């Protein structure tokens, strides 16, 4: 378990020690950002769904669509799984470029 977590899956604000960027892992970054935003870190399933959403979006259009599709899902207030289902249908209708 990373030092910024209390074991509950919740990030703990301000608990991340200074880590040089070259040593910062993706997990460490997400925990630190979640703590600053005062939200829980994504679950394993949410992470899987978000990465699939990003992949589907990027392959159906261009790379720019990957992070912004995740942002749109958050703005819409839907789960990553729900957004992935919508993106998959959209990619099928528009003819996924891959």
Q: How far is CA 84 from CA 13, 18, 43, 71, in A?
A: 30, 35, 16, 12
| Whether 13 and 34 share a structural domain | yes
User: What is the rounded distance in angstroms from the CA atom of residue 22 to the CA atom of residue 34?
Assistant: 20
pLDDT tens for 15-53 read 566 666 678 899 999 999 999 999 999 999 999 999 999
| Whether 31 and 56 share a structural domain | no
| Whether 72 and 54 share a structural domain | yes
| Whether 90 and 48 share a structural domain | yes
Domain span at 9:
1-41
User: What is the rounded distance in angstroms from the CA atom of residue 83 to the CA atom of residue 56?
Assistant: 11
| Whether 55 and 26 share a structural domain | no
User: What is the rounded distance in angstroms from the CA atom of residue 62 to the CA atom of residue 77?
Assistant: 24
User: What is the rounded distance in angstroms from the CA atom of residue 10 to the CA atom of residue 20?
Assistant: 23
| Whether 51 and 88 share a structural domain | yes
pLDDT at res. 5: 46
| Whether 48 and 87 share a structural domain | yes
Backbone angles phi, psi at 12, to 5 degrees: -110, 115
| Whether 13 and 28 share a structural domain | yes
Q: What is the largest CA-CA distance in the chain?
A: 47
| Whether 22 and 4 share a structural domain | yes
Q: Domain total for the chain?
A: 2
pLDDT tens for 51-77 read 999 999 999 999 999 999 999 999 999
| Whether 20 and 52 share a structural domain | no
């Amino acid at each position: 378990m990373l030092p910024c977590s209390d074991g509950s899956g919740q990030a703990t604000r301000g608990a991340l020690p200074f880590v040089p960027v070259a040593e910062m892992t993706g997990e460490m970054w997400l925990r630190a950002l979640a703590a600053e935003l005062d939200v829980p870190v994504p679950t394993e399933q949410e992470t899987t769904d978000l990465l699939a959403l990003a992949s589907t979006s990027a392959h159906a259009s261009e790379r720019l669509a990957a992070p912004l599709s995740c942002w749109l899902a958050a703005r819409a207030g839907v789960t990553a799984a729900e957004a992935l289902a919508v993106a998959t249908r959209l990619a099928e209708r528009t003819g996924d470029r891959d």
